[in-house]
Amino acid sequence: MNVSRGVQVVLLAALLLVVTGGAKPVVVGGTVTSAAEAPWAIALNNTQSVSSSGRYCGAVLVKADKIVTAAHCMDEAASTYYAVQGRADLADDSVGRVSAISKVWVHPGYNTKDHRYDVAVLTLAQPFTGVPVLPLETRARADRAGVVPSVYGWGDTQGTGPDETLQKAAVPDLGDKTCLANQGYVTNGYAAATNVCAGYVEGGIDACQGDSGGPLVLNGRLLGVVSWGQGCAQPGKPGVYTEIAGAAKALLQQVR
């Protein structure tokens, strides 16, 4: 079964976020990090979340009033979403900044059949001024086997750490050939031009339910956002990320 990694907090637990846009876990096998280390990491919460903290998806601040997330995360009314910045532990509402969402743009090429262009730009009602932003990686050559980006999120950890607490994990870029060699991934729409294949062949470390839309960062730039996969941290089933460079032309029009 294939599922999206970020919407329902329970949906992605089984498969990351491939087909239905379900929720996915906080990084499995990662390490706890701080909001100071990743100030641009945004928790995209929702009032309809099954979690008391509101956890729903991840996102990343790319401009004071703009955040980037996964298109499949946008399955509820815009009025139910709110962005949280500077809160490593989502249960601690004494810290951090919160903003409602005033506008939602979903990439026009996104669809639930092949999951390509799984990216969206949200406009914040209250800009997070003074907070460092993460530049978009617009070079397609940045996605290549051997580099080691890191993924950030508040998703499920499957017992490897505290849930709903910001974590990060290094996930080697395996190159497109690795995911294209998996027929299940091809069937679900993996494409070299629009996706990044990252993780460990042996499993053990991966994004999961609740991490959808969260940032994949390489050399201080946004290489991708958590999109989908098959299970979480399973051997031979790396994570699939939306490649920012593949959608850069449309994205730049939204964030300038």
What confidence score (pLDDT) does residue 30 get? 83
What is the pLDDT confidence band of residue 179, given thresholds at 50, 70 and 90? very high
> Which tokens is 188 given?
């679900």
Positive or negative, the CA dihedral 248, 138, 167, 128 is negative
Return the active site residues.
72, 118, 212
Residue at token pair 């003074």: 130
Select 39-133+249-255's CATH number: 2.10.260.10, 2.40.10.10, 3.30.70.600, 3.40.640.10: 2.40.10.10
Angle CA 59–52–23, to nearest 5: 45
Map 234-246 to HEC letters.
CCCCCEEEEEHHH
Task: Name every residue whose Cβ is closer than 8 Å to that of residue 182 and which is 6 or more positions away in sequence.
Answer: 190, 236, 237
pLDDT in tens, 103-157: 999 999 999 999 999 999 999 999 999 999 999 999 999 999 999 999 999 998 8
What confidence score (pLDDT) does residue 28 get? 77
Q: What is the dihedral of CA 49, 54, 58, 61, to 10 degrees?
A: 130
User: How many other C-beta atoms lie within 10 A of the C-beta of residue 78?
Assistant: 13
Task: Give mean pLDDT, residues 201-209.
Answer: 91
Burial class of 57 by CB neighbour count within 10 A (0 to 12, 13 to 18, 19+)? buried
Structure-model confidence comparison of residues 158 and 84, the more confident one:
84
Q: Average model confidence (pLDDT) for the chain?
A: 89
pLDDT in tens, 61-114: 999 999 999 999 999 999 999 999 999 999 999 999 999 999 999 999 999 999
- The region of weakest confidence among 16-25, 43-52, 79-88 is 16-25
What is the pLDDT confidence band of residue 19, given thresholds at 50, 70 and 90? very low
What confidence score (pLDDT) does residue 11 get? 31
pLDDT in tens, 103-112: 999 999 999 9
**How many alpha carbons lie under 13 Å from residue 172 in its C-beta half-sphere?**
10
Work out the percent of the chain whose per-residue pLDDT is above 70. Answer: 90
